Amino acid sequence: MQPNNVFGSPGLEEAEAVEDGTALIGNMTPAGVNGPVSPQQRQEIARRIGQDWQRISSSIAELFATGVPSNDPRTQQVVGEHCRWIRNFWTPDRASYLRLAELYVNQPKFRRRIERRKPKGMAAYLREAMITYAWANLR
């Protein structure tokens, strides 16, 4: 079973990916982008970031829904992708990634976005997986 077929997204509408990406990047210039960014470039960056988030969150949702533990190597591989994806915004160290993990659960805005059309409890599962990843892989 492919994660995207269960919780959402090969048919993810382009507008939703752009909406997610725009919500995530706001008015900032993502890491790795030099110089001024045209509105079209910003929309393309937002679309890519949104699609990447949808792919990662769908994979996490599938792992969670099928009972794969948060510390399982398969889950940790996807969380590694999440950590690399976060580098669109900043370079996380252990402390900042642990704070982000807590933010995902404790801030309703983030929890709603994470669990939108995904299983309830996924934010807590992601937090636990991120904690494991941070302690094993970040300084």
Per-residue pLDDT of the chain (139 residues; tens, 9 = 90+): 334 434 444 444 556 656 666 666 666 666 667 777 788 888 888 888 888 988 999 999 999 999 999 999 999 999 999 999 999 888 999 999 999 999 999 999 889 988 887 899 999 999 999 999 999 999 9
Q: What is the 3-state secondary structure (H, E, C) of the chain?
A: CCHHHHCCCCCCCHHHHHHHHHHHHCCCCCCCCCCCCCHHHHHHHHHHHHHHHHHHHHHHHHHHHCCCCCCCHHHHHHHHHHHHHHCCCCCCCHHHHHHHHHHHHHCHHHHHHHHCCCCCCHHHHHHHHHHHHHHHHCC
| Total-model pTM | 0.81
